[in-house]
């Protein structure tokens, strides 16, 4: 089956299934009410992850590229979806959620997912052995929470994952990883179809069921497909593509540690909060963050094609902008938002 058909199937199913996920959320009481750190003004259903899950896996099923590895990804992602649904409907303590994330990530180990060896420039191949199993679990959990932390504004996480999936498709196709390429396009189609309902003003949120599912799939695909090259580029590529939410997550951990707060505690110090505090609207903040994320993706592409000088220059510029925002040096952004509002 062609790549375009995989993308189209996922897109169409997401568009059809998202209204049903809205109805399901209302029936189960999975509603995100305004208040506290939340920036929306009206109650919004938050079970969009169900639509994303259905769109992705039905498109993946249509590709007929199934093998034992894919079954592992299916079982693990189904568990992470159910954990997210429970959290969206009933709520769940952070430690309990983390335990379930570890269990879901560990399922992959029984289906051949591992980072048992990588190749480093000037060093050669390094065998990690059993350490690679733990690294694989840590990798998936890290990406699950990276995407989860980016889900703070209408359309933000879905848009970032759409762009991430397209760039990962480029990488998978470039190294002839056909199953991984189909999966990344299924993920792109599911994210874009959901984004039609999630961009500001959002009619539905993906909830933890959606953000954790997306992070899990990105983590699993990168191990199963891109890391089969056993090169360090396969390891670095997803990190660069998700550079913006990873930086936000890192700063959140440091910030809470310095304040003596639990890592899982919530605050208004995230990247999107600081952009809103600088005076940007939700749409302005999201579009700016799309641009930052796209630049990280371009950095990965430039590095993969050997344009290291351009990749380094773009990476420095990207990080400089992120640090400017995260360190609250937002006077320029404030002036920009005031000019555009006139």
Which positions ≥6 away from 235 have C-beta within 8 Å? 115, 118, 227
98: Cα within 13 Å, side-chain hemisphere? 7
**Is residue 150's pLDDT more than 70?**
yes
- For residue range 181-196, what is the model confidence (pLDDT) as tens digits? 899 999 999 999 999 9
Output DSSP code: residue 267. Answer: -
The pLDDT assigned to 216 comes to 96
Output the pTM of the full model. 0.87
Q: For the chain, where are the alpha helices, taking DSSP H only?
A: 3-28, 48-63, 68-89, 94-107, 131-150, 156-174, 178-198, 207-224, 232-241, 243-258, 271-277, 282-304, 308-326, 331-341
Which sequence spans correspond to the domains of the chain? Answer: 3-241, 242-342
> How far apart, in Å, are the Cα atoms of 172 and each of 31, 185, 323?
37, 10, 31
Which of 60-69, 85-94, 157-166, 287-296 is least confident?
A: 60-69
Q: How far apart are the C-alpha atoms of 319 and 17, rounded to whole Å?
A: 37
- For residue range 262-296, what is the model confidence (pLDDT) as tens digits? 776 666 667 877 888 777 888 888 999 899 889 98
- For residue range 18-56, what is the model confidence (pLDDT) as tens digits? 999 999 999 999 888 876 666 667 889 999 999 999 999
Who wins on pLDDT, 150 or 255?
Answer: 150
Q: Which residues pair with 3 in a beta bridge?
A: none
153: left (phi over 0), alpha (psi -120 to 50) or beta: beta
Q: What angle do CA 11, 85, 143 make, to 5 degrees?
A: 70
Give SS3 for 67.
coil
């Amino acid at each position: 089956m062609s790549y375009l058909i995989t993308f189209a199937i996922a897109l169409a199913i997401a568009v059809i299934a998202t209204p049903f996920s809205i109805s399901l959320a209302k029936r189960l009481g999975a509603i995100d009410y305004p208040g506290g750190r939340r920036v929306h003004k009206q109650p919004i259903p938050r079970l969009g992850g169900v639509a994303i899950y259905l769109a992705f896996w039905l498109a993946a099923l249509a590709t007929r590229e199934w093998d034992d590895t894919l079954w592992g990804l299916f079982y693990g992602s189904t568990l992470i979806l159910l954990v997210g649904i429970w959290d969206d409907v009933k709520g769940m303590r952070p430690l309990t959620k983390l335990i379930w994330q570890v269990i879901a990530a560990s399922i992959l180990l029984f289906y051949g997912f591992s980072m048992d060896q990588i190749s480093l420039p000037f060093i050669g191949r390094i065998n990690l052995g059993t350490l690679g199993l733990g690294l694989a679990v840590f990798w998936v959990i890290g990406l699950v929470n990276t995407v989860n932390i980016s889900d703070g504004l209408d359309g933000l996480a879905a848009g970032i994952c759409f762009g991430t999936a397209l760039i990962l498709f480029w990488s998978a196709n470039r190294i002839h990883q056909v199953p991984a390429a189909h999966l990344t396009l299924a993920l792109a189609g599911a994210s874009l179809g959901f984004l039609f309902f999630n961009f500001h003003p959002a009619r539905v949120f993906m909830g933890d069921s959606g953000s954790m599912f997306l992070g899990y799939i990105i983590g699993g695909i990168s191990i199963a497909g891109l890391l089969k090259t056993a090169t360090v580029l396969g390891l670095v590529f997803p990190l660069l593509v998700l550079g913006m939410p990873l930086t936000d997550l890192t700063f959140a951990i440091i910030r809470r540690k310095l304040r003596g707060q639990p890592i899982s505690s919530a605050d208004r110090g995230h990247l999107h909060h600081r952009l809103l505090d600088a005076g940007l609207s939700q749409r302005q903040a999201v579009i700016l963050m799309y641009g930052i994320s796209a630049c990280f993706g371009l950095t990965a592409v430039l590095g993969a094609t050997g344009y290291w000088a351009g990749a380094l220059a773009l990476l420095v510029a990207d990080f400089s902008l992120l640090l400017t925002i995260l360190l609250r040096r937002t006077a320029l952004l404030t002036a920009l938002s005031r000019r555009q509002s006139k």
